[in-house]
Amino acid sequence: MKNTTCDLYKETALLLCHQFEISTQLINELMADFHLNSAIEILGEHTNKVEKMAFLLRAKEQECFSASRHDSVVKLRKKIIQKWDEEKINSAFDKYCHSSGKTLNHKARKLSEMRWSCGKAWAHMFMEYSGIDNYFAGKRINNEKKNQFEDILPFIKLPELVEYQIKLKEALIKVIKEKGNEAKCLLSLPTGGGKTRVAVEAYIEYLRPRFAEGKYLIWIAQSEELCEQAIKTFQDMWKNKEFTECLRIYRLFGSHNMDVDSMIGGVVVCSINKLYNNIKESQEGHACHYMIQNCSTCIIDEAHRAVTKMYNKFYDYSQTVRGEQMFPICGLTATPGRNNDTLSLTSHFLYRLFTPEVPSQFKENPILYFRKEKYLALPYHVEIATGQAFVFSDEDGEKIETEWKKLKVGEKTSPELQELMQELIGDGCKKLADNVKRNKIILDTLLSLPDNAKVLVYACTVAHAELINSLLIAKGRKSAVITGNTPRYKRHAYIDKFKSDELQFIINHSVLTTGFDAPKTDHIVLCRPTFSDILYEQIVGRGLRGPRFGGTETCKIIDFCDTCERFGDQQSYKRFETFWFQTSD
């Protein structure tokens, strides 16, 4: 957001409403397309059309002119262009549309529908011809595409592993030397405990000479964020070891593919979706077949999810290529935050389970040891009652009740039932996202947080995330929104700004649950109902990095609590009562 007074937004709004005669109807269409219908009511402000337009400009800035996916934005551009004089319309049309002999209205329509790229020539010309501040043309983004592989050069110094990490590393190195089932293991550490670092350091030391022989370490993750996080860890670790040779890291996720001609051994970082699709098409001589044929070991991140058909396809295909013995496999997962049984993760991993050694007084609850030693932050919990009800549809409620009878064990809800409830929350979340009273409570709470707080907010829906973000910006807070629709380059830019204190809030929906690394995060705010303990723990874990790992002393977890009709207190925060350091008022 521009470091300026409100004058720019107010002056631009006056220009649009008066000189270009932008109507209240069009402004309302813009508000609707940007999911801001309820924003003025939530803010509690009585506004005329100029004030509404100023709010839109402040909240969405360049998007008010660039978001061509919205019909209202195209209409806005057309209304503005129609007010240009004939010479300007003809000049712009001749420059960009390469046609002639049309009416001015036709030319204005064609120009308004042109592809808009922030910071490029057409955006600047539009602002110049309209007399609008060039700030709204936006900045050109250098969205450089990453290569499918990287050669990592040596040397960078990292902090040494702590005692429990060293012991786990030694255990992993011992396992990788085994054969068959004895070479399968699961490494379980709390979120923030450094499981990625431990695994990478253990395996690259053992595999270093094998990379030169054309062998591969296959790293499988759920998302592109986790893949990039793993690559960064490999980069840092290889440089830290002061090795004299290069390590080649291959990307096999997103739009990246592998070419057999570039394969000389190294680390292959894959998303499970991309790997699955490659295996379906693979044959002898294919890059994926060659990689598995020459694999020395495999690491599966977020291993509690490695029980799907895509992983089974990988195991089956690997056995076809390599035989029953296959190659060593290590799964990585977080320690459950409560005193529950360890997750049941199938025979792919549970031949050996490695957890950190802790003093005897912490055996029952190892998390307390990590907090005492400041590896993890102390989590304080705040429940804010909204007075609203979360309601499943009749059809979804019947599905849950059917499974309830089969899967509920005493007072404990099974993971299968939790995941089903999480899967079916869609309609109920949309209703909560549109609730004005609830959103007022959320906004007031966020505005009450300290100015130096670093806050991750988990919204109910994409539209809800955009609404909360716009409300915070309207109140002068430094905020950005990240959803599945946010381009990767923007996502990385926002996260970098969050880390460097240029942003106080990141509002997200279904994105920053894993693979997000901002150690100084000290507030996690859940505006969405969460029924899955696994998902809840991943969300909370984004703020639990302790001082000894570059994080914070404490982290405040704020839950906006709604009653859950038909199914009582089934939201996950209710099952974490023994997890919190203490309940904070």
Confidence of residue 225 (pLDDT cuts 50, 70, 90): confident
CATH no. for 377-583: 3.40.50.300
Can you name the residues that pair with 409 across neighbouring β-strands? 412
pLDDT category at 368 given cuts 50, 70, 90 is confident
Q: What is the maximal distance between C-alpha atoms in the chain?
A: 87
Q: What is the pLDDT of residue 49?
A: 87
pLDDT at 448: 94
- Delimit the domains of the chain by residue range: 7-137, 149-364, 377-583
Q: How many residues does the chain have?
A: 585
Q: Tell me the pairing of strands 184-188 and 329-333.
A: parallel
The pLDDT of 508-530, averaged and rounded, is 80
The pLDDT value given to residue 354: 84
Please state the rounded mean pLDDT for residues 269-295: 86
Predicted structure pTM score:
0.75
At 340 the pLDDT is: 41
311: CB partners within 8 A, 6+ apart: 220, 272, 300, 348
pLDDT, tens digit, 9 for 90 and up, residues 41-100: 888 776 788 988 998 998 888 888 988 888 999 999 999 999 999 999 888 888 888 776
Q: Which CATH superfamily is domain 149-364 in?
A: P-loop containing nucleotide triphosphate hydrolases (3.40.50.300)
In this structure, what DSSP letter does residue 15 have? I
Q: Which amino acid is at 508?
A: N
Give the integer Cα–Cα distance in Å for 516 and 225: 7
The pLDDT-based confidence of 341 (bands split at 50, 70, 90) is very low
pLDDT at residue number 562: 80
Inter-residue contact 514 to 542 (CB < 8 Å): no
Integer Cα distance of 169 and 202 in angstroms: 5
Please state the rounded mean pLDDT for residues 337-352: 52
**Quick check: helix, strand or coil at residue 224?**
helix
Tell the burial category of 503 from Cβ atoms under 10 Å away from its Cβ (0-12, 13-18, 19+): buried
Confidence band, pLDDT 50/70/90 cuts, at residue 285:
low
Give residue 345's pLDDT.
52
What whole-number distance in Å separates Cα of residue 487 and Cα of residue 472? 22
Query: How many Å apart are CA 350 and CA 360, to the nearest integer?
Result: 24
Q: What is the mean pLDDT of the chain?
A: 82
What is the predicted pLDDT for the residue at 515?
Answer: 56
Asked whether this chain's domains 149-364 and 377-583 adopt the same fold, the reply is yes
- pLDDT tens per residue across span 429-484: 888 888 999 999 999 999 999 999 999 999 998 889 999 999 998 888 999 998 87
Report angle CA 106, 108, 114 to the nearest 5 degrees: 105
The pLDDT of residue 343 is 47
Cβ atoms of residues 467 and 119 within 8 Å: no
- Mean pLDDT for 240-269 is 86
Measured distance CA(99)–CA(101) in Å, rounded = 7
Give 159-183 pLDDT, tens digit per residue: 788 888 889 988 888 888 877 777 8
- Beta strands 266-271; 247-252: pairing state: parallel
Predicted local distance difference test score (pLDDT) of residue 342: 45
pLDDT score at 450: 93
